[in-house]
Chain A
Amino acid sequence: MTHMHVNLKVNGREVEVRAEPRTLLIHLLREHLDLTGPHIGCDTGHCGACTVDLDGRSVKSCMVFAAQVQGAEVTTIEGIAGDGGAPHPLQEAFREHHGLQCGYCTPGMIVRAWRLLEENPDPDEEAIRYGISGNLCRCTGYQNIVKAIRAAADEMNAARETEQ
């Protein structure tokens, strides 16, 4: 199988990867770039464990080929912490509100919630539930995830107000 060179930006860093065009983005991230935060849960685009941010949209990285990410900008769970590695308010809120158990869905869930709050900084419960409906969790029953995302939204909105 022929290989290609893929140039993309991952978590703010320019990278070049030599991979088969059919390589899935999730494998490119996990195996070529050692970013093992995003996980594989289903291979069919249903579970969302592999969710990353691709050019400003949440995508399931098991549904994207390496050949499709030439020049793209990707953010994974490893890339959302604040300055100096301080946890993002979402990461802090998931811990505070017990929004995770086994942790397997968590990176995809948080990266999806991160984009959701960019799209809608003040979502109500229904909007949060709908907004994360592409990400499955088998442990928490979602209730504390919803609570955590709402709490992070409050925290981020309060910080924005302070800045202004």
Chain B
Amino acid sequence: MSEQAAATTEERIEKLQGLGCARKRVEDARFTQGKGNYVDDIKLPGMVFGDFVRSPYGHARIEGIDKDAALAVPGVLAVLTAEDLKPLNLHYMPTLAGDVQAVLADEKVLFQGQEVAFVIAEDRYAAADGVELVEVEYEALPALTDANRSMDEDAPVLREDIADKTEGAHGARRHPNHIFTWEAGDRAAAEQALASAEVVAEELVVYQRVHPCPLETCGCVASMDKVNGKLTIWGTFQAPHAVRTVASLITNIPEHNIRIVSPDIGGGFGNKVGVYPGYICAAVASIVLGRPVKWIEDRMENLSATAFARDYHMSGKIAATRDGRITGLRCHVLADHGAFDACADPSKFPAGFFNICTGSYDIPSAHVEVDGVYTNKAPGGVAYRCSFRVTEASYFIERMVDVLARKLDMDPAELRRRNLIAKDRFPYTSALGWEYDSGDYHAALDKALAAVDYPALRAGQKAGREAFERGETRTLTGIGVAFFTEIVGAGPVKNCDILGLGMFDSCEIRIHPTGSAIARLGTISQGQGHATTFAQILASEIGIPADRITVEEGDTDTAPYGLGTYGSRSTPVAGAATAMAGRKIRAKAQMIAAYLLEVHEDDLEWDADRFQVKGNPERVKTMAEIAFAAYNQAIPGIEPGLEAVSYYDPPNMTYPFGAYVCVVDVDVDTGVTDVRRFYALDDCGTRINPMIIEGQVHGGLTEALAIAMGQEIAYDETGNVYGGSLLDFFLPTAVETPTWETDFTTTPSPHHPIGAKGVGESPNVGGVSAFSNAVNDAFAHLGLTHAQMPHDHWRVWETAERLGLHG
């Protein structure tokens, strides 16, 4: 017997580096050596560059565009405007939300930074020179930047192209600046609960406009091969297959003649889900010029034009008994969608999954209503490191519970404990219609509170407040407790689609004759480490070591169709497809092994990396031996080869959850906040790679810190965007970022093949609430119930000033 065969099952499992193993990432060798291949690294023969002329106005009529001076610049090849795109019917493009968006401004500009003309030149410097010389004559119009005023009778009409349409993609429109009204839940029951409640707490919770701001901006290289009529676009696409289908529908180029490739992507966080005018202009320019065209936006363009997130104004009422049982919840949202409705939500959910806003609590009645409106701001509404509008929902309920706790004079952790959904209620159907798959919330909360010694923290806070009263310190401590439930893994095709494309995902596996493999998926990594973790899932399913499995994504010519990576859907959906495809491989392998071992299939059992005859561990066929036989031996009744494909339509979403505690020290004289401690307990179901999970939590918490403590894309009343460069838009450095403590519980998803739920976005969803709750808690004893984010130094100082702390 060979040495390998002599190894125990446990030793062989360890060698596979499958589920649960902190496997080092296979991506890292190329990234640490500067050998990544991002879109701006692509260099094709004859490639030229495109750059945009953008609107300096928030709202203006275009009186004329003069290209002559730009066209005279050496190296400038062409200048495209809406007039050039009209004959192709490409001056508008469909958005993911059922609206249309101007590719190049048509007669009017509707936000500062809007694309007006596209200059193509031999190199990026000449293109930039050309941009400077395109003369656009504008007539300024009154700008509308306060969503609260969008539906006023005298509000300026923004979208003249659809002003007379009384029906939008999501129902009736009652004002030219109205996009949709969407509701969920039982209005009458919620109203009744509020009317009869012993206690009602109310608050306006605003989640400010922010931006995902991945370190790599958006961009593409479009190349039309005029000989064979094939258009290839390399780009920063989080959903390459969807882009191909949409591109085919827009351009009428048959889908087989379009190839979309996502190379390495330098972070996405939702920014790279949408389709942006740059992609269309580059493709058109390549078709017109017959040369590859590169378009890469700069950071200011990225922050002020491609995508934004949040901008939800949430008015809530929460009803409870005096002893802290929540009995009802109502929420009205004013959703500022900017100038075009380009939200990246499943089509039937214009407000995403905002109706997860009952959170982790057993609330018997609830109702939400969302009004989407236009303003003179950039379009977007993407899911910035969260499933669709889940961060907004989670922030809303977590603030409302704290506001209620103040009103009841009850400890916020205790109020949560009294209302968390009990373990024996799962699967739990919420008042707003979701079926939560699994959870043990009380265990998670208890573990978190014990880990931070919550009573001691509160005692320390009390002592600190007394010292503050005595004038011995100018620092106040806040303790933020947050519990969250995510809803991720969109989703079941029965109710989840984007522009009619069902949100299943896929995996295709080929086993090579000598026992290695390639797996291709419909998703695309942007830093999550798919090449590492999907190989681990497969290693455990088919018994081939992860190091011998290549994972490939992002090329629509080779990868199976799938809806891409966002909303934490890769592991719940494509990860499930990977496991299911692996099981198909194993089923065929079992038939082959039975033939080779001359036994009935049912007499075989799987043992890590091999089939063995039951009760006879000497008689085995390893997966490598089976693979070789599959290709090289004539087996009656079984066709050669060992391949499988799985398209997985999930039966339900998955519901990761967690309990976070944040301790923050606030200097009331400067407004400076110092995160003294942050403890994060995450339950993402089955854990595939603990090292990568921990890394995802660190990163998500850091993005949450940025949002809660400083990020904002603000506009002044004339439509000027503030926060359009990294000078103004807060990205924390290593100095501002605290050290994170991570922990976990494990409650597998009952419907996912390996029980995994997804984790990448949880820390952002739970983190924002924890930071904000902590800052608010620091001032709670002085009567503060809620201060709006971001809690930057100025606003915190202002709160202290308002509370009379500056003498």
A29 to B671 alpha-carbon distance, docked (Å): 43
Please give the distance in Å from B568's CB to the nearest CB on chain A: 15
Q: How many A-B residue pairs have CB under 8 A?
A: 182
CB-defined contacts of B124 to chain A, threshold 8 Å: 27
Within 8 A of B (CB), among A39-82: 39-44, 46-47, 49, 76-78, 81
Please give the distance in Å from B530's CB to the nearest CB on chain A: 11
Measured CB to CB, the nearest residue on chain A to B269 is: A138
Is B667 in the interface zone, CB < 8 Å from A? no
Contact of A95 among B32, B41, B700, B702 (CB under 8 A): B32
Measured CB to CB, the nearest residue on chain B to A137 is: B215
Measured CB to CB, the nearest residue on chain B to A81 is: B33
Please give the distance in Å from A19's CB to the nearest CB on chain B: 10
Asked if B25 contacts A98 (CB within 8 A), the reply is yes
Contact of B726 among A22, A38, A47, A106 (CB under 8 A): A47
Q: How many residues of chain B get a CB closer than 8 Å to chain A's CBs? A: 58
CB-defined contacts of B31 to chain A, threshold 8 Å: 100, 103, 106-107
CB-defined contacts of A27 to chain B, threshold 8 Å: 124
A101 to B532 alpha-carbon distance, docked (Å): 11
Asked if B33 contacts A37 (CB within 8 A), the reply is yes
A-contacting 9-mer, from B225-233, B259-267, B410-418: B259-267
Is B733 in the interface zone, CB < 8 Å from A? yes
Asked if B727 contacts A46 (CB within 8 A), the reply is yes
CB-defined contacts of B33 to chain A, threshold 8 Å: 37, 77-78, 81, 87, 91
Question: Which of A42, A90, A101, A133 has the most CB atoms of chain B within a 10 A radius of its CB?
Answer: A101
Asked if B701 contacts A141 (CB within 8 A), the reply is yes
CB-defined contacts of B299 to chain A, threshold 8 Å: 41-44, 47
A137 to B40 alpha-carbon distance, docked (Å): 19
Known A37-B35, A39-B216, A102-B527; judge A133-B27 contact (CB<8 A). Answer: no
Asked if B214 contacts A42 (CB within 8 A), the reply is no
Asked if B740 contacts A105 (CB within 8 A), the reply is no
Asked if B267 contacts A43 (CB within 8 A), the reply is no
Asked if B125 contacts A104 (CB within 8 A), the reply is no
Is B43 in the interface zone, CB < 8 Å from A? yes
CB-defined contacts of B298 to chain A, threshold 8 Å: 42-43
Please give the distance in Å from B428's CB to the nearest CB on chain A: 32
- The main secondary structure of chain A at its interface with chain B is loop
Contact of B125 among A1, A37, A138 (CB under 8 A): A1
Please give the distance in Å from B219's CB to the nearest CB on chain A: 10
A140 to B527 alpha-carbon distance, docked (Å): 10
Measured CB to CB, the nearest residue on chain B to A95 is: B28
Is A23 in the interface zone, CB < 8 Å from B? yes
CB-defined contacts of A137 to chain B, threshold 8 Å: 215, 734
CB-defined contacts of A43 to chain B, threshold 8 Å: 298-300
Asked if A41 contacts B216 (CB within 8 A), the reply is yes
Asked if A138 contacts B214 (CB within 8 A), the reply is yes
Question: Which of B215, B267, B700 has the most CB atoms of chain A within a 10 A radius of its CB?
Answer: B215
Asked if A144 contacts B703 (CB within 8 A), the reply is no
Is B213 in the interface zone, CB < 8 Å from A? yes
Contact of B266 among A37, A91, A102, A140 (CB under 8 A): A102
Known A133-B735, A141-B702, A145-B734; judge A40-B32 contact (CB<8 A). Answer: no
Asked if A35 contacts B34 (CB within 8 A), the reply is yes
CB-defined contacts of B265 to chain A, threshold 8 Å: 102
Please give the distance in Å from A122's CB to the nearest CB on chain B: 18
**Interface flags, B186-220, vs A, CB<8A=1, else 0:** 00000000000000000000000000011111000
Please give the distance in Å from B291's CB to the nearest CB on chain A: 17
CB-defined contacts of A17 to chain B, threshold 8 Å: none
**Interface flags, A137-158, vs B, CB<8A=1, else 0:** 1111111111000000000000
Is A83 in the interface zone, CB < 8 Å from B? no
Please give the distance in Å from B266's CB to the nearest CB on chain A: 3
Query: Size band of the A side of the interface?
Result: 35 or more
Measured CB to CB, the nearest residue on chain A to B214 is: A138
Is B641 in the interface zone, CB < 8 Å from A? no
Is B100 in the interface zone, CB < 8 Å from A? no
Asked if B734 contacts A129 (CB within 8 A), the reply is yes
Measured CB to CB, the nearest residue on chain A to B689 is: A98
Measured CB to CB, the nearest residue on chain B to A140 is: B699
A-contacting 9-mer, from B488-496, B690-698, B789-797: B690-698
CB-defined contacts of B213 to chain A, threshold 8 Å: 138
Within 8 A of A (CB), among B724-746: 725-727, 731, 733-735, 737, 739-740
Asked if B740 contacts A143 (CB within 8 A), the reply is yes
Is A163 in the interface zone, CB < 8 Å from B? no
Please give the distance in Å from A28's CB to the nearest CB on chain B: 12
CB-defined contacts of A1 to chain B, threshold 8 Å: 74, 125
Measured CB to CB, the nearest residue on chain A to B267 is: A102
Question: Which of A110, A128, A139 has the most CB atoms of chain B within a 10 A radius of its CB?
Answer: A139
Contact of B40 among A40, A136, A142 (CB under 8 A): A40
Measured CB to CB, the nearest residue on chain B to A37 is: B34
Asked if B695 contacts A98 (CB within 8 A), the reply is yes
- The main secondary structure of chain B at its interface with chain A is loop
Please give the distance in Å from A85's CB to the nearest CB on chain B: 8
Asked if A95 contacts B29 (CB within 8 A), the reply is yes
Known A95-B28, A101-B528, A138-B703; judge A143-B739 contact (CB<8 A). Answer: yes
Asked if A104 contacts B216 (CB within 8 A), the reply is yes
Asked if B737 contacts A47 (CB within 8 A), the reply is no
Asked if A38 contacts B34 (CB within 8 A), the reply is yes
CB-defined contacts of B142 to chain A, threshold 8 Å: none
A103 to B700 alpha-carbon distance, docked (Å): 16
Known A43-B300, A103-B266, A146-B734; judge A91-B32 contact (CB<8 A). Answer: yes
A102 to B265 alpha-carbon distance, docked (Å): 7
Measured CB to CB, the nearest residue on chain A to B35 is: A37
A43 to B692 alpha-carbon distance, docked (Å): 30
Measured CB to CB, the nearest residue on chain B to A85 is: B33
Measured CB to CB, the nearest residue on chain A to B705 is: A141
Please give the distance in Å from B171's CB to the nearest CB on chain A: 37
Please give the distance in Å from A145's CB to the nearest CB on chain B: 7
CB-defined contacts of A132 to chain B, threshold 8 Å: 733-734
Asked if B264 contacts A103 (CB within 8 A), the reply is yes
Contact of A20 among B36, B125, B214 (CB under 8 A): B125
Asked if B726 contacts A101 (CB within 8 A), the reply is no
CB-defined contacts of A140 to chain B, threshold 8 Å: 695, 698-699, 702
Asked if A94 contacts B735 (CB within 8 A), the reply is no
CB-defined contacts of A94 to chain B, threshold 8 Å: 28, 32
CB-defined contacts of B264 to chain A, threshold 8 Å: 102-103
A34 to B36 alpha-carbon distance, docked (Å): 13
Measured CB to CB, the nearest residue on chain B to A45 is: B726
**Interface flags, B527-567, vs A, CB<8A=1, else 0:** 11100000000000000000000000000000000000000
Known A129-B734, A139-B699; judge A104-B28 contact (CB<8 A). Answer: no
Is A96 in the interface zone, CB < 8 Å from B? yes
Measured CB to CB, the nearest residue on chain B to A93 is: B32
Please give the distance in Å from A51's CB to the nearest CB on chain B: 12
Please give the distance in Å from B523's CB to the nearest CB on chain A: 15
Known A95-B24, A138-B269; judge A47-B702 contact (CB<8 A). Answer: no
A54 to B266 alpha-carbon distance, docked (Å): 25
Asked if A44 contacts B695 (CB within 8 A), the reply is no
Contact of B215 among A37, A49, A143 (CB under 8 A): A49
28 contacts between A and B (CB under 8 A): A27-B124, A30-B41, A36-B40, A39-B215, A42-B725, A44-B727, A47-B726, A91-B32, A95-B25, A98-B24, A98-B695, A101-B696, A102-B215, A102-B264, A102-B265, A103-B28, A103-B30, A110-B32, A128-B734, A135-B733, A138-B269, A138-B699, A138-B731, A141-B737, A142-B733, A143-B740, A144-B698, A145-B734
With A39-B215, A104-B216, A138-B214 known, 16 other A-B pairs at CB within 8 A are A37-B34, A40-B40, A41-B299, A46-B731, A76-B34, A78-B33, A87-B33, A91-B33, A95-B29, A98-B25, A101-B267, A102-B215, A104-B215, A129-B733, A138-B703, A140-B702
Give me the 6 closest cross-chain CB pairs, A-B, nearest first. Answer: A37-B34, A102-B527, A103-B31, A104-B266, A141-B698, A77-B34
